[in-house]
Amino acid sequence: MAEYSVTPWEVKGDLDYDKLVRDFGTSYIDDELRTRIKNHTGELHFMLRRNVFFSHRDLGWILDRFEHGENFFLYTGRGPSGNTHLGHLLPWIFTQYLQEKFGAELYFQITDDEKFLHDRKLSRKQVTEFTHENILDIIALGFDPKKTFVFSDTDYIKTLYPISIDIAKHITFSTAKSVFGFKNSSNIGMIFFPALQAATCFLPSILQKKNIPCLIPAAIDQDDYWRGIARDIAPKLGYYKPAQIHSKFLPSLQKGGKMSASSPETAIFTTDELEIAEKKIKNAFTGGRDTLKEHRKYGGNPDIDSAFQYLKMLIEEDDKKLSEIEQEYRSGNLLSGELKEIAAEKVKTFLKEHQRKRMQAEKIFDKFILRD
């Protein structure tokens, strides 16, 4: 099994992730945990093999409970502020794997209220449209309709609100401020929102009237929110603290930062035409050298190459193929343009299939939706 180091933000990217783990006080996913997971799943998802999901909080405890016959549920979410891009899909694809291998229920919260409250320019109508579009992408990933419950805050508020006020009663403005960085100029809807986000950690336990362990797959930057609110409140309400499994970010197609829906050129959207997606990859930031001569001599750097990172983190499941591409690129045999060609073809194949499933998702939409 090849071990890769993931560096979405150039070379010092690695240091940033280590800093996050240190600052937040999370734990790395080590070989022992990977072996334990493999015992249940039969195979390790490539995102685990390649350390895309690399950090956690209480993952061992989740496996303990599971091994004692106690099922956990998965909780993830989406803020519908725009169209879905491939960076959003990364943790969702992994979540689908966890659902399938552990038979876990998934509660998928669409925080339409948060995005409306956060963005001065977004109307409720726009957010409602993005909500629908985003849910199509979720359904397209193959979640089990019997075990997947997608809900938007405004559609499911009658159920969520009583839980949220139970939580809110324990959260002072000071606490919310220190965790979320609120200011005196923050609006009072945003200030209340952390209670709604935490509510889903306890929702299945309330609906099913028993304490159910919760595992949250999400990018690592979310950790602090769960630690500061939901994990802190859980024992006060008599529930388990939610566990977490953390991913790195799919890097931007341009130099620096992560993909962002607000800068279209940094991301490939699930609804992009294939030619547009291809063009974005061809224009992406590379780890190639300035001249052909230098590239042949010194080789390329896959660690900072967007096209390579797409293959590694999201698209190329075959470790052997990926390893060959990496070696060829490092050696200088494979040029940036050729690497981009490979990635573009893979991405187009992925997108075409995703867009086909996305069309079908419209038909089975209601099977996934939880409403009051």
**12 vs 371, which CB is nearer to its own copies?**
371
**118 vs 330, which CB is nearer to its own copies?**
118
Q: What is the DSSP string of 317-362?
A: --HHHHHHHHHHHHHTSS-HHHHHHHHHHHHHHHHHHHHHHHHHHH
The position carrying tokens 């990172």 is 309
Contact status, residue 234 vs residue 61, Cβ threshold 8 Å:
no
Please name the helix (run of DSSP H) or strand (run of DSSP E) that holds residue 125, with its range, or none.
Answer: helix 124-140
The CB-of-242 to its own copies minimum distance in angstroms stands at: 19
Task: Please identify which residue in 19, 40, 124, 293 interacts with its own copies, judged by CB under 8 A.
Answer: 124
Which residue from 245, 200, 224 is spatially nearest to 61, judged by alpha carbons? 245
Question: Considering the rule CB under 8 A, would residue 262 count as an interface residue with its own copies?
Answer: no
Footprint (CB under 8 A) of its own copies, residues 192-251: 192, 194-195
The CB-of-173 to its own copies minimum distance in angstroms stands at: 5
**79 vs 300, which CB is nearer to its own copies?**
79
**165 vs 359, which CB is nearer to its own copies?**
165
The CB-of-151 to its own copies minimum distance in angstroms stands at: 12
The CB-of-208 to its own copies minimum distance in angstroms stands at: 19
Distance (Å, whole) CA 137 – CA 84: 7
Question: Considering the rule CB under 8 A, would residue 305 count as an interface residue with its own copies?
Answer: no
Task: Encode 218-241: b = buried (16+ Cβ within 10 Å), e = exposed.
Answer: bbbebbbbbbbbbbbbbeebebbb
Contact status, residue 262 vs residue 271, Cβ threshold 8 Å:
no
Distance (Å, whole) CA 61 – CA 89: 26
Question: Considering the rule CB under 8 A, would residue 372 count as an interface residue with its own copies?
Answer: yes
Name the token pair of 93: 């694809």
Total interface residues for its own copies by CB under 8 A? 37
Backbone angles phi and psi of 150, in degrees to 5: -100, 130
Distance (Å, whole) CA 265 – CA 9: 17
**14 vs 232, which CB is nearer to its own copies?**
232
**229 vs 307, which CB is nearer to its own copies?**
229
The CB-of-232 to its own copies minimum distance in angstroms stands at: 13
**173 vs 298, which CB is nearer to its own copies?**
173
The CB-of-166 to its own copies minimum distance in angstroms stands at: 7
Question: Considering the rule CB under 8 A, would residue 116 count as an interface residue with its own copies?
Answer: yes
Footprint (CB under 8 A) of its own copies, residues 135-194: 154-155, 157-158, 161-162, 164-166, 168-174, 176-177, 182-192, 194
Distance (Å, whole) CA 259 – CA 273: 18
The position carrying tokens 């409250």 is 117
Question: Which letter does DSSP use for residue 249 in this model?
Answer: P
The CB-of-161 to its own copies minimum distance in angstroms stands at: 5
Query: Where along the sequence are the contacts to its own copies (CB under 8 A)?
Result: 113, 116-117, 120, 124, 154-155, 157-158, 161-162, 164-166, 168-174, 176-177, 182-192, 194-195, 372
